Amino acid sequence: MRIALVALALISAAGRVAAAHNDVMEGNPASPVRVLIYEDLQCSDCARFRIMLDQKILPKYGSKVAFIHRDFPLGKHDWARQAAIAARWVYEQDSERGIGMRREMLSEQDSISSQNLKQWLIDFAYRNHVDPKGIIASLSDQRLAALVDQDRQAAVARGVSQAPTAFVGGVAFAETIIYEDLARALDDALAK
**Crossing angle of the two packed helices 117-127 and 80-93, in degrees rounded to 10:** 20
How many residues are recorded in the chain? 192
Return the pLDDT at 21.
59
Residue 28 phi/psi, 5° resolution? -100, 100
Summarised one tens digit per residue, pLDDT across range 23-48 is: 899 999 999 999 999 999 999 999 99
Q: Is the dihedral of CA 110, 112, 113, 114 positive or negative?
A: negative
Res. 5: pLDDT tops 70? no
Q: Is the pLDDT of residue 12 over 70?
A: no
The reported pLDDT for the residue numbered 20 is 58
Give the pLDDT band (50/70/90) at residue 22: confident
pLDDT at residue 10, rounded to an integer: 31
Residues in contact with 158: Cβ distance below 8 Å, sequence separation at least 6, in sequence order: 167
Residue 154 has pLDDT above 80, yes or no: yes
Task: Report pLDDT digits (tens) over 51-91.
Answer: 999 999 999 999 999 999 999 999 999 999 999 999 999 99
CATH class of the structural domain 20-191: alpha beta
Locate the domains of the chain by residue range: 20-191
Asked whether the beta carbons of 52 and 59 are under 8 A apart, the reply is: no
Between the CA atoms of 167, 170, 174 and 180, what dihedral angle is there, to the nearest 10 degrees?
Answer: -80
